[in-house]
Amino acid sequence: MEAMIPLFLVSLVVGLVVGVLAGLLGIGGGMLLVPAFKLGYAMDSLMCTATSLFTIIPTSISGAVSHIRNKTCLPKLGVAAGLGGACMSPLGVWLAALSPDWAVMGAAALIIAYSSVTMFRKALKAPKATKPVASSSQPDASALSSCHPERSAEGAEPKDPATSEPSATPASLASEESPEPPVIIAHMLPDLLNLYGDGGNVRILEQRLRWRGIPVEVRRIQHGEAVDFSQVDLVFMGGGPDREQKLASEQLLAMRDELAVYVEGDGPLLAICGGYQILGRQWLWGDELVPGLGLIDMETRRPGTSADRLIDNMVLESPLAAHPVVGYENHAGRTYLGEGVEGFGRVVSSCGHGNNDDDRVEGARYKNVVGTYSHGPLLSKNPEVADWLLARALERRAGRTGTPAADLAPLDDGAELAANASMVKRLS
């Protein structure tokens, strides 16, 4: 019995290593267990393979459960492949029993060697983490189809691809410390308002400044945190599900006076979908009337519980861009603008609804505030809108810090504009 203790401990250590590697890399435990059993315990080949298969069962179950929880696997595909393997495994056991010891070990060695070489080659070919190279290759909601993308049910919470990198240009990043003060971007409540990759707009704004050698600082204001808007040059508010939007609205209402001073002082602000609705006098949460910030003379209504959501790709004509503006909308509320508020753009594509599906107006502009239902993120295929916001942010920084206003040097937006043109062509 005592002789079994060291054997058990060694096996436990080997199992721990196999479990980590199986979950991390997806390799089969046999890659380690078969040679370990053969060399360490002098087991015959058939017993090595059989024992390794047995040990893989709990490892595979544990790893599969973790990956299913993290949504990093395709369960249906895995079940189909697993059933196929289970059906054919008796054939393999029969062949192993008939095969000589050297053939079993040779076959195992070949499989292990092939897997190792393949994984090593993939590792060598994997791109290194450098600056991003193209925004147009990043899939977003607008690329699902031409008009009429797949519709989601009322209240559905879309997945967030928001962490995608903004596009790159041949311009070089600023690598040295700059004596000028940074442009301060306040990303409001990214933990609540960040659907459809809306937070990617902040990354695009940040990167377009860095490509020009302009220092920038992004302050992500989480739920429950405060911000001094007098020290901010650009504000961003994304969209969110109804529950999160209501939580965000409550916190923003507590900041209403400070935000009003910021807006009336020509502070640039970009708001998407739910964030856009919150800027108005009111919006509806189910049947409940929720007070908005009242920063813009507008209100959002819901036409009834049976009304369809407004979901589509769209092309806009906007005074903020020489090229058409492309985007993707998904909203239930109908927004109506008051006096003194202009639209962000006008829907010119055959598909797309805009604010309310009545007047073809999309979004809103008031002073340097831009509100829109365009997800995507919006700025990935509309660099002119991004630069309009950045120009306003540089003007505010100049006034806030007493430094000369900086000019926005041109960037090579060929990839972005090509993606824009492609969507315009598809939606025309």
User: Which pLDDT does position 200 carry in this prediction?
Assistant: 92
pLDDT, mean over the chain? 78
Length of the chain as a residue count:
428
375 is catalytic: yes
Q: Which residue in the block uniquely carries the two structure tokens 């960037």?
A: 411
User: Which pLDDT does position 236 carry in this prediction?
Assistant: 97
In terms of average pLDDT, the best of 36-50, 100-114, 322-336 is: 322-336
More confident residue, 246 or 207: 207
Give the amino acid at 176: E
Question: How many percent of the chain have pLDDT more than 70?
Answer: 64
- Which residues face 370 on adjacent strands? 270, 365
More confident residue, 61 or 255: 255
> Could you report the per-residue pLDDT of 177-199, keeping only the tens digit for each?
668 899 999 999 999 988 777 88
**Helical H runs in 176-273?**
200-211, 242-254, 256-264
Q: What is the DSSP letter of 410?
A: -
User: Which pLDDT does position 426 carry in this prediction?
Assistant: 93
> Could you report the per-residue pLDDT of 359-377, keeping only the tens digit for each?
999 999 999 999 999 987 8
Does pTM surpass 0.75? no
Predicted confidence band of residue 420 (pLDDT cuts 50, 70, 90)? very high
Nearest CA to 326 out of 87, 118, 140, 100 is that of 140
pLDDT of 71 higher than 60: no
**Helical H runs in 173-255?**
200-211, 242-254
Kindly name the residue from 273, 331, 351, 353 that is annotated as catalytic.
273
Predicted confidence band of residue 252 (pLDDT cuts 50, 70, 90)? very high
Specify whether the CB–CB gap between 340 and 264 falls below 8 A: no
Distance CA 298, CA 279 (A): 8
All structural domains of the chain: 7-125 (no CATH), 141-427 (3.40.50.880)
Kindly name the residue from 187, 331, 353, 375 that is annotated as catalytic.
375
> Could you report the per-residue pLDDT of 22-53, keeping only the tens digit for each?
555 555 555 556 666 655 666 666 676 666 66
* Long-range pairs, 149-157, Cβ under 8 A, ≥24: 149/311, 149/312, 149/313, 149/328, 151/309, 151/311, 152/309, 152/311, 152/330, 154/309, 154/332, 155/241, 155/242, 157/195, 157/241
Nearest CA to 379 out of 218, 204, 233, 216 is that of 204
Distance CA 376, CA 328 (A): 6
User: Which pLDDT does position 116 carry in this prediction?
Assistant: 65
Q: Which residue in the block uniquely carries the two structure tokens 């923003």?
A: 252
User: Which pLDDT does position 317 carry in this prediction?
Assistant: 97
Distance CA 188, CA 202 (A): 10
